[in-house]
Amino acid sequence: MKSPGCASRHIKCLIVNLFLGLIFLSGFYHAKNKSFLILKSHGELLIPSMPCRAKTNVMFLKTHKTASSTLLNVMFRFAERYNLTVALPAAHHVHLGYPKTFLAHFVEAFQAIGQNYNIMCNHLRFNPSEVQKVMAANTFYFSILRNPISLLESSYTYYKDTVPAFRLSKDVNEYLASPMKYYHPEDSKKNIYARNIMWFDFGYDNNAQDNKKYVQAVLKEIEQNFHLILIAEYFDESMILLKHVLCWDLDDVIYFKLNSRSQDTVQTLTLESKERIKVWCSLDWQLYLHFNQSFWRTIEETIGLKKLEKEVNHLRMRQKELMETCLSDQKAVEKDRIQNKALLPFQSGAANILGYNLRQDLDNRTLRTCQRMVMPELQYTSYLYAVQHPHKKRKPFGLSLPAFQEKKTQIPPPN
């Protein structure tokens, strides 16, 4: 028979073990019920212990002809909704110094505002050290890529009148049959859209030799500078992934396609031309292949394909609902059919850039929402500039300010 002292110690041990067990179970329960977020950060997977919280310091590298105008609209609407500060081009400019390599003073009021911008998303040629002067240390960096085959055809049509290599050739297939016949070294600065334009936008030499060691070093550097790279061919999937990694709501990533062109201006590439693009734009091609793989790998590690499909369907249903609410034609229309010329997108080259007609029976609140959904890039930039810098001279392409004013929703301070 045990002594009373032994029995007492036994009971104390049971109580301590029971207490520790309850703590463990409590921790497990809370862990199971937290919203965990898995992010690609500098090539490693991170699983934060804190609940998912909306990111409001975000830098989007707006690449050319990659559905980036649609994404810019998403970013601008998010900034307006939560009263965030956007790093806008200084003075009369609509780009952040592009095609010059970005410098911090290209941002309006940088000297006064310093590193207190939340959103950066206008065109620039990436320069990490200068961008970091403008954006906070905890800024989330992302960009988007497009298959170089369709990208070059789109660039050819859009920049037909301004790029010497395109202007001198009859059509895209003739250009690709012998690009060096039209792509003259002395015009290299004017021909940036004609070869490896995405490589250039990320801040690198678009005429560099395709050296394996060099390419791998650049890809690694991009992975270190950017948390996420989206893919234009999978735009809806990209929006769902972006929603998850930024902890945004579905309506934050709902979109109407902007800066798209009519189908009759799309040139048909021959099979030979498609293969030639892979060689002529080999740097872009390798960039695209690399991040197309990482895109799907990130989806599998964060959302999973089954949940992705479900959420894409929700996004499309919500998009359809908004189009029925906002648009009189239920779709984009050609430039000649756009009734409100203040919402006419910028027209370039041989492209016929489509726009939208809003319904006439919208109440004021719905009208403001719909206006922002269809507002072209230049007009939206001009509008935000007028809001943020009311004492500065207005940019061109301005819209009537009162028509776009609304009370902004407040959220907790930027993370």
Q: What is the pLDDT of residues 60-71, one digit of tens each?
A: 999 999 999 999
The rounded distance, in Å, linking the Cα atoms of 53 and 246 is: 8
pTM comes to 0.84
Model confidence at 50, in pLDDT bands (50, 70, 90)? low
pLDDT over threshold 80, residue 16: no
The rounded distance, in Å, linking the Cα atoms of 364 and 247 is: 29
In the numeric block, which tokens belong to residue 40? 């690609």
Please state the separation of Cα 356 from the chain's center in Å.
21
Residue type, 29: Y
pLDDT over threshold 90, residue 304: yes
- Please check whether residue 303 is in contact with residue 296, taking contact to mean a CB–CB distance below 8 angstroms: no
Q: Which of 3, 52, 20, 6 is nearest to 245 (CA)?
A: 52
Q: What is the pLDDT of residue 353?
A: 87
Provide the mean pLDDT of the chain: 86
| For residues 327-350, average pLDDT | 88
pLDDT over threshold 80, residue 254: yes
Q: What is the pLDDT of residue 214?
A: 98
| For residues 350-370, average pLDDT | 92
Query: Hey, which residues does 45 pair with through a beta bridge?
Result: 40
Mind listing the domains of the chain with CATH numbers?
Answer: 55-392 (3.40.50)
Q: Classify 45 in phi/psi space as left (phi over 0), alpha (psi -120 to 50) or beta.
A: beta
pLDDT over threshold 80, residue 162: yes
More confident residue, 219 or 398: 219
Residue type, 13: C
- Please check whether residue 316 is in contact with residue 236, taking contact to mean a CB–CB distance below 8 angstroms: yes
pLDDT over threshold 80, residue 36: no
Which own/partner contact pairs does 215-221 have at CB distance under 8 Å and 24+ positions apart?
Answer: 215/283, 215/286, 218/287, 219/286, 219/287, 219/290, 220/43
Q: What is the pLDDT of residue 399?
A: 53
pLDDT over threshold 90, residue 411: no
Q: Which of 160, 183, 171, 97 is nearest to 134 (CA)?
A: 97
SS3 assignment for the chain: CCCHHHHHHHHHHHHHHHHHHHHHHHHHHHHHHCCCCCEEECCEEECCCCCCCCCCCEEEECCCCCCHHHHHHHHHHHHHHCCCCECCECCCCCCCCCCCECCHHHECCHHHHCCCECEECCCCECCHHHHHHHECCCCEEEEEECCHHHHHHHHHHHCCCCCHHHHCCCCHHHHHHCHHHCCCHHHCCCCHHHCCHHHHHCCCCCCCCCCHHHHHHHHHHHHHHCCEEEEHHHHHHHHHHHHHHHCCCHHHHCCCCCCCECHHHCCCCCHHHHHHHHHHCHHHHHHHHHHHHHHHHHHHHHCCHHHHHHHHHHHHHHHHHHHHHHECCCCCECHHHCCCHHHCCCCCCCCCECECCECCCCCHHHHHHHHHHHCCHHHHHHHHHHHHCCCCCCCCCCCCHHHHCCCCCCCCCCC
Query: Hey, which residues does 59 pair with through a beta bridge?
Result: 120, 141
Q: What is the pLDDT of residue 387?
A: 95
Q: What is the pLDDT of residues 201-249, one digit of tens each?
A: 999 999 999 999 999 999 999 999 999 999 999 999 999 999 999 999 9
Model confidence at 398, in pLDDT bands (50, 70, 90)? low
Model confidence at 82, in pLDDT bands (50, 70, 90)? very high
Model confidence at 364, in pLDDT bands (50, 70, 90)? very high
The rounded distance, in Å, linking the Cα atoms of 98 and 124 is: 5
pLDDT over threshold 80, residue 47: no
| For residues 373-388, average pLDDT | 95
pLDDT over threshold 80, residue 18: no
Q: What is the pLDDT of residue 9?
A: 53
